[in-house]
């Protein structure tokens, strides 16, 4: 449908900073509390109250900028972004328009074609959030209520260059961005809970051309998946317009998740952006900045490289283990307890995390500490138990406080690897199944699977499958 055309996509991402207080007053920064609980004259924007800029907001915003490889500006300043709407009774929002906190950042993503691609970040600025409108019904009368808990919540807005060209790459960028920001611990970045909100600017152009056509802004996506779907829909819509000879005009559209379409949005009155006289310019001293840089944890990219070179993980395993800070922390603690590295990476990714998800607990809240988990992997690595037994022991570990060794002994899971013991077993199974043996010798390789199954059953699941297979192959000649 969009063949012969290329999308040009830029993103604007609002991220709520997880500060204890709001940006310009001491009210708790908890937008989800009972409506209008966390308010004061400053964040109700009553006349005659001066905002006081929070140092913690600057610190968290700076962490966000560093996590996205931006250059922090020595001096930045707040402007009054004038617009009129019930969620903003004072008529302007404090936002850094002319002099943002940071510029010239970037993030690398693995693009659709498998190659690494650098997406430029034009700027990051700080801004206060506006109040939240709640639309309800009183009887049959629709009413709109205003909740000021969110008014004055500290935000950063991240503006990318229009470097993205497909819905898939836009989603990938957002995933990488979310990981980076969560690592820096400046925000939870949950689109579902509203602590990360994404607007997408989309235009289309014939493939191979450099021009920038009028763009359409899409709002109201509350998951990364919705961002991808909305962009894909919008590309189709614009290409259809162009093919029909109808020009695309610049405007704002809303994503309707149920209908899976975008619809035009009524425009808000938007005024100018004028310098604000009430908040002093924000000055970032170099010594202070160095302190913040010291606070930055090892970021995912560096971690992946270290996991590959130090522990011998594959690139994919290393990526999986550094996708979240709590995963990498758990992984390294398990290694401290002598878990074999690759086994640990594989078992965390494919066994432990799915089991925890089923039980709705996280690595941080599970009672299975990395030490007991490592005990299981240690036994598995030394072939003291086989994979099937290990899976069962893992489930039991999650439900008790016993060690892996205790559970293995209790359940009689210790694997039989002794060649003598297993040889007798193999002889017996081959003698009991002459037709399968004959089939195997005639070339039916399936018969081997059957014989292995019989031998495993005869050992009550305790035979070491590797030793068993070696013996079996030798006997069958």
Q: How far is the CB of 129 from Zn ion (least distance, A)?
A: 12
Q: What are phi and psi of 144, to 5 degrees?
A: -115, 125
d(CA 121, CA 118): 10
Q: How far is the CB of 59 from Zn ion (least distance, A)?
A: 19
Residue 213, token pair as written in the block: 């056509």
Nearer to Zn ion, 21 or 459 (CB): 21
Query: What residues between 18 and 57 interact with Zn ion by CB under 5 A?
Result: 25, 27, 40, 42-43
Nearer to Zn ion, 150 or 182 (CB): 150
Residue in the block written with tokens 């996590």 = 67
Q: How far is the CB of 29 from Zn ion (least distance, A)?
A: 10
Name the residue among 185, 182, 164 with its Cα closest to residue 118: 164
Q: How far is the CB of 28 from Zn ion (least distance, A)?
A: 9
By rule CB under 5 A, what count of residues binds Zn ion? 5
d(CA 475, CA 477): 5
Q: How far is the CB of 268 from Zn ion (least distance, A)?
A: 24
Nearer to Zn ion, 92 or 311 (CB): 92
Residue in the block written with tokens 């690592």 = 183
Nearer to Zn ion, 27 or 159 (CB): 27
d(CA 421, CA 455): 12
Draw the binding track, 321-350, toward Zn ion (x: CB under 5 A; -: no contact).
------------------------------
d(CA 164, CA 173): 9
Q: Do residues 153 and 93 lie in contact, with contact meaning Cβ atoms separated by under 8 Å?
A: no
Q: How far is the CB of 43 from Zn ion (least distance, A)?
A: 3
Q: How far is the CB of 23 from Zn ion (least distance, A)?
A: 9
Q: Do residues 282 and 101 lie in contact, with contact meaning Cβ atoms separated by under 8 Å?
A: yes
d(CA 10, CA 174): 12
Q: How far is the CB of 27 from Zn ion (least distance, A)?
A: 3
Q: How far is the CB of 51 from Zn ion (least distance, A)?
A: 10
Nearer to Zn ion, 25 or 279 (CB): 25
**Interaction of residue 422 with Zn ion, rule CB under 5 A:** no
Nearer to Zn ion, 76 or 153 (CB): 153
Nearer to Zn ion, 37 or 395 (CB): 37
Which residues touch 462 (CB under 8 Å, ≥6 apart)? 386, 389, 412, 413, 414, 415, 416
196-206 and 5-16: which strand pairing?
Answer: antiparallel
What per-residue string of b and e applies to 306-323 under the rule 16 or more CB within 10 Å gives b?
bbeeebebeeebbbbbbb
Residue in the block written with tokens 């138990």 = 385
Nearer to Zn ion, 40 or 242 (CB): 40
* 50: helix, strand or coil: coil
Nearer to Zn ion, 55 or 309 (CB): 55
Positions that interact with Zn ion (CB under 5 A): 25, 27, 40, 42-43
């Amino acid at each position: 449908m969009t063949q012969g055309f290329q999308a040009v996509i830029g993103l604007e991402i609002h991220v709520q900073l997880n500060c204890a207080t709001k940006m310009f007053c001491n009210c708790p920064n908890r937008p989800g509390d009972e409506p209008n609980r966390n308010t004061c004259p400053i964040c109700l924007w009553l006349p005659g109250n001066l905002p006081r800029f929070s140092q913690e907001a600057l610190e968290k915003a700076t962490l966000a900028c560093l996590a996205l490889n931006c250059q922090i500006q020595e001096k930045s300043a707040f402007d009054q972004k004038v617009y009129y709407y019930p969620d903003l009774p004072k008529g302007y929002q404090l936002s850094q328009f002319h002099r943002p906190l940071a510029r010239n950042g970037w993030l690398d993503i693995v693009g659709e074609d498998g190659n690494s691609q650098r997406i430029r970040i034009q700027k990051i600025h700080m801004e206060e959030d506006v109040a939240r409108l709640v639309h309800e019904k009183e009887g049959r009368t629709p009413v709109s209520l205003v909740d000021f808990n969110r008014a004055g919540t500290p935000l950063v807005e991240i503006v990318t260059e229009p470097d993205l060209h497909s819905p898939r790459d836009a989603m990938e960028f957002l995933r990488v961005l979310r990981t980076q920001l969560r690592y820096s611990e400046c925000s939870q970045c949950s689109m579902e809970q509203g602590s990360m909100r994404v607007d997408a600017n989309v235009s289309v152009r014939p493939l191979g051309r450099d021009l920038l056509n009028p763009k359409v802004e899409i709002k109201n996506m509350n998951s990364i998946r919705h961002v991808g779907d909305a962009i894909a829909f919008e590309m189709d819509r614009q290409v259809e317009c162009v093919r029909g000879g109808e020009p695309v005009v610049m405007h704002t559209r809303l994503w309707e998740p149920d209908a899976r379409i975008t619809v035009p949005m009524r425009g808000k009155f938007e005024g100018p952006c004028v310098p604000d006289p009430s908040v002093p310019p924000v000055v970032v001293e170099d010594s202070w900045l160095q302190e913040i840089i010291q606070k930055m944890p090892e970021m995912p990219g560096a971690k992946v490289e270290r996991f590959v070179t130090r522990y011998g993980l594959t690139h994919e395993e290393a990526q999986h283990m550094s996708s979240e800070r709590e995963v990498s922390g758990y992984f390294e603690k398990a290694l401290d307890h002598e878990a074999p590295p690759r086994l640990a990476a594989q078992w965390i990714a494919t066994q432990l995390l799915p089991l925890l998800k089923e039980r709705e607990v996280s690595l941080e809240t599970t009672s299975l500490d990395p030490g007991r988990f490592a005990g299981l992997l240690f036994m598995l690595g030394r072939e003291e138990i086989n994979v099937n037994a290990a899976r069962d022991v893992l489930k039991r570990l999650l439900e008790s406080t016993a060690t892996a060794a205790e559970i293995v002994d209790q359940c009689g899971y210790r694997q039989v690897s002794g060649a003598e013991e297993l040889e007798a077993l193999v002889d017996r199974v081959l003698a009991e199944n002459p037709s399968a043996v004959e089939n195997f010798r005639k070339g039916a390789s399936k018969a081997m699977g059957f014989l292995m199954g019989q031998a495993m059953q005869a050992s009550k699941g305790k035979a070491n499958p590797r030793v068993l297979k070696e013996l079996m192959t030798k006997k069958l000649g």
